[in-house]
Amino acid sequence: EAEVAQSPRYKITEKSQAVAFWCDPISGHATLYWYRQILGQGPELLVQFQDESVVDDSQLPKDRFSAERLKGVDSTLKIQPAELGDSAMYLCASSYTTGRVGYTFGSGTRLTVV
């Protein structure tokens, strides 16, 4: 079964440092999403890509977060500088653009900011 790959699995960083997460979607999935999930809450959409273009980044804190998908395949989410409140699970998901509903999620990156 095809999977969405994410790395690292866990990350501990100090406040004010930079941190980056990587995601490789399922082959053929043109749409890629980054979600943030705070413990005990549902995932919150941060950014959605269609190929290399951003479709929706309305919930992305752009003063410290950035996301790119330069070649329309894998993607990187960056936080600089990290704050204590950024501690969360960062989930990547991918999907077909049209004609088939629903996402496949990766296992996520658990970020702890100390």
Write out the residues near other proteins by the rule CB under 8 A.
4, 31, 35, 41-45, 48, 55-56, 89, 91, 93, 95-108, 110
Would you say 75 or 95 has its CB closer to other proteins? 95
- Beta strand spans in the chain (E): 5-7, 10-13, 19-24, 31-37, 44-50, 53-56, 65-68, 75-79, 88-95, 104-105, 109-113
The residue (of 35 and 65) whose beta carbon lies closer to other proteins is 35
| Beta carbon of residue 14, minimum distance to other proteins (angstroms, whole number) | 22
